[in-house]
Copies of this chain bind each other. A is one copy, B any other.
């Protein structure tokens, strides 16, 4: 008989990931605040629960893919307790992009309740999630990760483990997203400079992204930034800012200054002040164009 797994959070990412679990033969008990988003999964056999609590059971596994620290904390610590419901021995696979500190706290909470939390944030957009091409970072207790492994393998193309410290995988995820944002700002600045030196910015980006920087981040975002096309949003700017701010907050907590992250944070704030909150987060690179007097009205 198919293993039952709980799945909480059916946004674009969560829905795609849950779909892969169904495809892999799991039976899903799903929950989403806006229940209607569960319809496609229910059509494929998932069972819609009324409360997050109902997706869990002793020795079981639940997966959560939520919005932020607050929603994750609420899921884990509100009553009736989902962390206790998983006891004894159940595992909560927490895949939201959150701060290392909340993971540390909630992992301990699970432990005290007799369950365990595996921290497993992912790199990849909804399309990658749908295609099972996510890269998954993990941290948490070895036994719990062992139990979670088949579930994770059903959702991603590769798993990278970072040990038992619960927040470790979050730090790696946030570091990666910061590096993407820093690369976008660097492209924005380099392109503003070359454009004002008489260079076709699309051609310059084309060269860089075919040679030194022949990788997804520079190719995908580079093309958008060179053309200043930031709509429709693949990943909305305020969400990108949230991740960079989480990286800065984590860095501040452990006393590691990140001056590039600060510059990028300031750019995001300016982008919001200029009304770019609905654009893709690559619009952060428009700041360099603005300050060079280049941004078309």
A291: which B residues are within 8 A, CB to CB?
Answer: 256-257, 266, 269-270, 273-274, 287
For A274, the closest partner residue in chain B by CB is: B293
The interface residues of chain A, by DSSP majority, are classed as: helix
Interface flag for A67 (CB, 8 Å):
no
Instruction: Tell which of B245, B262, B292 touches A263, judged by Cβ atoms closer than 8 Å.
Output: B262
A192 contact set on B, CB distance < 8 A = 251, 256, 258
**In the complex the two chains form, what is the Cα distance from A267 to B158 in whole Å?**
35
Nearest-neighbor residue (CB-CB) of A190 within chain B: B175
Check A162 against B274 for contact (C-beta < 8 Å): no
Q: Does A140 contact B (CB under 8 A)?
A: no
Q: How far is the CB of A274 from chain B (nearest CB, A)?
A: 6
The stretch of A15-23, A90-98, A203-211 that contacts the partner chain: A203-211
- Count the A residues whose beta carbon is within 8 Å of the partner chain — how many? 81
Contact status A186-B179, CB under 8 Å: yes
Q: Judge whether A292 and B255 touch: CB under 8 Å.
A: yes
User: Do A175 and B288 have beta carbons less than 8 Å apart?
Assistant: no
Q: Are the C-beta atoms of A265 and B262 separated by less than 8 Å?
A: yes
8 Å CB interface, A121-146 against B? 123, 135, 137
In angstroms, how far is the closest chain B Cβ from the Cβ of A82? 26
Q: Nearest chain-B residue to A214 (Cβ)?
A: B215
Question: In the complex, what residues of B have CB within 8 A of residue A162's CB?
Answer: 199-200, 203-204
A/B interface sample: 11 pairs, CB < 8 A:
A123-B212, A162-B199, A171-B198, A172-B194, A175-B204, A175-B208, A180-B212, A193-B254, A213-B215, A252-B265, A255-B269
Q: Apart from A168-B198, A189-B259, what 12 extra A-B contacts exist at CB < 8 Å?
A: A162-B204, A171-B199, A179-B187, A182-B185, A183-B183, A185-B260, A254-B292, A255-B269, A257-B269, A257-B273, A259-B263, A273-B291
